[in-house]
Protein backbone atom coordinates (compact mmCIF):
# COMPACT_ATOMS: atom_id res chain seq x y z
CA UNK A 1 0.00 0.00 0.00
CA UNK A 2 1.30 3.45 -0.92
CA UNK A 3 0.19 6.18 1.49
CA UNK A 4 0.89 9.87 1.03
CA UNK A 5 0.20 12.53 3.63
CA UNK A 6 -0.25 15.86 1.85
CA UNK A 7 0.46 18.99 3.84
CA UNK A 8 2.78 21.94 4.07
CA UNK A 9 3.85 21.39 7.67
CA UNK A 10 1.04 22.83 9.79
CA UNK A 11 0.03 21.22 13.08
CA UNK A 12 -2.89 19.31 11.52
CA UNK A 13 -0.60 17.99 8.77
CA UNK A 14 1.90 16.72 11.35
CA UNK A 15 -0.90 15.16 13.39
CA UNK A 16 -2.22 13.32 10.32
CA UNK A 17 1.25 12.02 9.49
CA UNK A 18 1.83 10.84 13.07
CA UNK A 19 -1.60 9.18 13.27
CA UNK A 20 -1.09 7.44 9.92
CA UNK A 21 2.31 6.06 10.92
CA UNK A 22 0.92 4.97 14.31
CA UNK A 23 -2.02 3.04 12.80
CA UNK A 24 0.23 1.42 10.17
CA UNK A 25 2.68 0.27 12.86
CA UNK A 26 0.05 -0.88 15.38
CA UNK A 27 -1.76 -2.99 12.79
CA UNK A 28 1.27 -4.39 10.97
CA UNK A 29 0.13 -2.89 7.66
CA UNK A 30 2.55 -3.37 4.77
CA UNK A 31 2.67 0.24 3.59
CA UNK A 32 5.02 3.01 2.58
CA UNK A 33 4.10 6.33 4.21
CA UNK A 34 5.43 9.46 2.50
CA UNK A 35 4.99 13.08 3.56
CA UNK A 36 4.44 15.44 0.61
CA UNK A 37 5.08 19.12 1.39
CA UNK A 38 5.61 20.52 -2.12
CA UNK A 39 2.55 22.63 -2.95
CA UNK A 40 2.82 21.91 -6.69
CA UNK A 41 2.81 18.15 -6.05
CA UNK A 42 -0.13 18.52 -3.63
CA UNK A 43 -2.10 20.43 -6.27
CA UNK A 44 -1.61 17.57 -8.75
CA UNK A 45 -3.97 15.55 -6.55
CA UNK A 46 -6.64 18.25 -6.87
CA UNK A 47 -6.41 19.02 -3.16
CA UNK A 48 -7.08 22.62 -2.15
CA UNK A 49 -7.30 22.11 1.62
CA UNK A 50 -4.74 20.27 3.69
CA UNK A 51 -4.08 17.99 5.36
CA UNK A 52 -5.04 15.25 2.95
CA UNK A 53 -4.47 11.51 2.82
CA UNK A 54 -3.88 9.61 -0.41
CA UNK A 55 -4.02 5.81 -0.47
CA UNK A 56 -2.79 4.09 -3.63
CA UNK A 57 -3.30 7.27 -5.66
CA UNK A 58 -6.82 8.03 -4.41
CA UNK A 59 -7.58 10.98 -2.11
CA UNK A 60 -9.57 9.56 0.82
CA UNK A 61 -9.38 12.42 3.34
CA UNK A 62 -8.95 16.16 2.86
CA UNK A 63 -9.15 19.18 5.08
CA UNK A 64 -9.27 17.32 8.39
CA UNK A 65 -7.57 14.81 10.66
CA UNK A 66 -9.81 11.74 11.05
CA UNK A 67 -10.23 9.99 14.38
CA UNK A 68 -8.03 6.98 15.08
CA UNK A 69 -11.04 4.70 14.48
CA UNK A 70 -11.83 6.33 11.11
CA UNK A 71 -8.17 6.06 10.11
CA UNK A 72 -8.06 2.38 11.02
CA UNK A 73 -11.13 1.71 8.84
CA UNK A 74 -9.41 3.42 5.89
CA UNK A 75 -6.15 1.50 6.28
CA UNK A 76 -7.22 -1.97 7.43
CA UNK A 77 -8.84 -3.89 4.59
75 classed as catalytic: no
Among residues 3, 5, 6, 13, the one annotated as catalytic is 13
Alpha helices in 1-77 (DSSP H): 11-26, 39-43, 68-75
CA distance 7 to 21: 15
Among residues 1, 10, 48, 76, the one annotated as catalytic is 10
3 - beta bridge partners? 33, 55
54 classed as catalytic: no
Which residues are part of the catalytic machinery?
A: 10, 13
Amino acid sequence: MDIKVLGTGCTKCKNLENLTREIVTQNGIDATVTKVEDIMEIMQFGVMTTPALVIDGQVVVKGKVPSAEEMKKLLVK
